[in-house]
Structures are given as C-alpha cells and as structure tokens.
Amino acid sequence: MERMRVMFLCTGNACRSQMAEGWARELAGDLISIKSAGIEAHGKNQLAISAMDEVGIDISQQESLRINGEMLEWTDLLVSLCDNAEEQCPVISPHTIKLHLPLADPAKIKGTEEEIQAEFREAREKVKERVEFVIAQLDTH
C-alpha cells in the first residue's frame, strides 16, 4: 500500500511547518511521507532548530521551501498551520484532503530572550499535538 503523502504548510516554512515535518518524521515512522512548505520561503529559524534539538529532533538539514504546483500535486493531505496559509493556499487538486490546525507564529513574539525561547518551546509542543492528531486520524483509516 502506498503511504499517505502529507504536506505541512505555514506562512514562511521557517518555524511551525518545519517543526511539524520534524515531529512527523519522528512520530509517524513509515506510516506517511512528509514534506513542509510555506506560502513564502523565509529561511531557517535558529530558535525553531534549537527548540527541536532540545527534544532530540534535528531539523537543521530541512530546507525552507515555497509551495509550488508540483508539491501540491504530490500531496494527499495538506495541513495548514496558520490562518495566512489557509487563506493564501494555492488551489489544490480534488483528491487532496485539507486540514486546518492554526497556531500562532512564535517568530512574531517580542520579549526577552528567555520569553522568546519559552514561546518556541510552547509552539514545539503545540505542533507535536497537531502532528499526533494527524497521525491518529490516519492510523484509524
């Protein structure tokens, strides 16, 4: 049986969708094929990389990519992780399932270094919950 192809999408493919790709690789095993992309490509976010590294998941080699038609055609399940990605998402094919699980962008938080790091850790855990939800849905079908 061919694996479900899951695309995690957010605005810049720097934080939330990158974390989701890392969590999905860690938690889903061979259940699904995983990619992440953004409406734009904002590059790698070192705070997101550090937050994931704290739980033993290396996302430093993942690339920040802008979604394109080829990626959309590849995707069976598109999981948007922010309202902007939901609103700006290009047209998807009729066979693609879309799931919207919004989460605030930790990169937009202002504060001390400790407050910002805490926000990234919280986002990491919220992303994990969303990835676990997606995997659970797929596992039951």
Tell me the domains of the chain and their CATH numbers: 4-139 (3.40.50.2300)
Positions marked active-site: 10, 82, 89
Distance CA 49, CA 100 (A): 23
Structure tokens at 81: 């992780």
Q: Tell me what pLDDT residue 91 has.
A: 67
| Per-residue model confidence as pLDDT tens digits over 25-72 | 999 988 899 999 999 999 999 999 999 999 999 999 999 999 998 999
Element (H, E) at 106: none
Residue 130 near residue 20, CB atoms below 8 Å:
yes
Distance CA 66, CA 39 (A): 6
The segment with the largest mean pLDDT, out of 16-20, 66-70, 71-75, 86-90, is 16-20
Q: Tell me what pLDDT residue 115 has.
A: 95
Per-residue pLDDT for 124 more than 70?
Answer: yes
Per-residue pLDDT for 1 more than 60?
Answer: no
Task: Write the burial class of residue 141 (CB in 10 Å: 0-12 exposed, 13-18 middle, 19+ buried).
Answer: exposed
